[in-house]
Amino acid sequence: MRYDDSSPAPESHDSISPDQRWYTRRSTLAVAVAVLAPTVLAGWVLTQTLTGTEGQRPGPAPHPASHAAAADAKSSASPGAQAGASASASASASGPAAAPAPAKGPLTGKTVVIDPGHNTGNFQHTDEIDRQVDIGTNRKECDTTGTTTNSGYMEAEFSMDVSRRLRTILEGRGLKVVLTHEAGTARPWGPCIDERARIGNEARADAVVSVHADGVSQGNRGYHVILPAKVKAGGADTAAIVGPSRQLGERIGSNFSRTTGSAPANYLGSGTGLVVRDDLGGLNLSTRPKVFIECGNMRDSKDAAQLTSPEWRQKAAQGIADGIVGFLGG
């Protein structure tokens, strides 16, 4: 190594005393410790952070300023706000809130029984439907075939179609609807007239409507609603249902006429569209408000054109439904 004239020449190693050499080594060790200590300390802190106490892994410690801010916010919140936060936390923990219960209306819990007149299978089961049943005032056939249009469209087809349409409308208004029978089921004929009445009674129906079409001669047109007479004989006692049945029939008649454009029958009922009878087992044996509606005359060409029209049958169902809903207070 070359030194210039301005730099002091280094001392020779041999010229340093033992005390000086010890001091130099101690100083060097101290410097080394000073350098290593922070590194060791940092490693220990890192190990504690990663492992935590007893093997648990803690999250990062909050900044003191953040901790203080959170405490200040909590202490400044009103009791109502704190209660609301607690309620929100509880709701979140227990899952989504239940949907509110649907509002109750005048039709809630009410039941309507619809009785489609006759059965398309009755034509093949004449022996069964000819069996006599007790209707209170006398005995009568279990059921009949019903009538047809001149082209062969069955009353039973008509009554089932209108009844199904009627059910759809009423269920849309929130009513429970029961049909006394339905096409395409295991029921090949009937049911008998006493069973039809029993179905309405056992359902505790708020209203029962039997859907029909008449079969008289050409030129006799229009609808009519049949109401129960006051009878008390055998198993028949209509005293409690005569009044409400008339109210039901009047409601149905007026709405049916308005919706379909049909006039009251021109061959019975004196133009009122209302007829009272005591010879129908479905009415005599009923304990619930009940009526029959003859929607038109299948043997009249003009009425038959309406009865065979799906559009007109939808109007018929709507008119009957409006009458039932009005009677039930909907």
Asked if 294 is an active-site residue, the reply is yes
User: What whole-number percentage of the chain has pLDDT above 90?
Assistant: 66
Q: Binning pLDDT at 50, 70 and 90, where does residue 97 land? A: low
Higher pLDDT, 73 or 122: 122
pLDDT digits (tens, 9 = 90+) for 232-246: 999 999 999 999 999
- Give the start-to-end residue ranges of the domains of the chain: 16-53, 111-327
Q: Yes or no: say if 89 and 151 are a contact pair by the CB < 8 Å rule.
A: no
Most confident of 5-19, 55-69, 194-208: 194-208
**Average pLDDT score, the chain:** 80
Rounded alpha-carbon distances, angstroms, from residue 102 to 98, 170, 277? 12, 18, 42
Single-letter code of the amino acid located at 96: P
pLDDT digits (tens, 9 = 90+) for 180-223: 999 767 789 999 999 999 999 999 999 999 999 999 999 999 99
pLDDT at residue 63 is higher than 80 = no
**45: nearest Cα among 61, 32, 34:** 61
Cross-strand partners of 141: 132
CATH 3.40.630.40 fits 111-327, yes or no: yes
Phi, psi at 252, each rounded to 5° = -65, -45
Single-letter code of the amino acid located at 209: V
pTM for the complete prediction? 0.70
Q: Yes or no: say if 265 and 223 are a contact pair by the CB < 8 Å rule.
A: yes
pLDDT digits (tens, 9 = 90+) for 111-133: 999 999 999 999 999 999 999 99
In the sheet that 274-277 helps form, which strands lie side by side, from edge to edge? 176-179, 111-116, 207-214, 290-297, 224-228, 274-277
**Pairing relationship of beta strands 132-134 and 232-233 according to DSSP bridges:** unpaired
Average pLDDT over residues 306-315: 98
Q: Yes or no: say if 199 and 132 are a contact pair by the CB < 8 Å rule.
A: no
Q: Which of 155, 157, 250, 294 is catalytic?
A: 294
Q: Binning pLDDT at 50, 70 and 90, where does residue 19 land? A: very low
pLDDT at residue 161 is higher than 50 = yes
**Bond into 191 cis (ω within 30):** yes
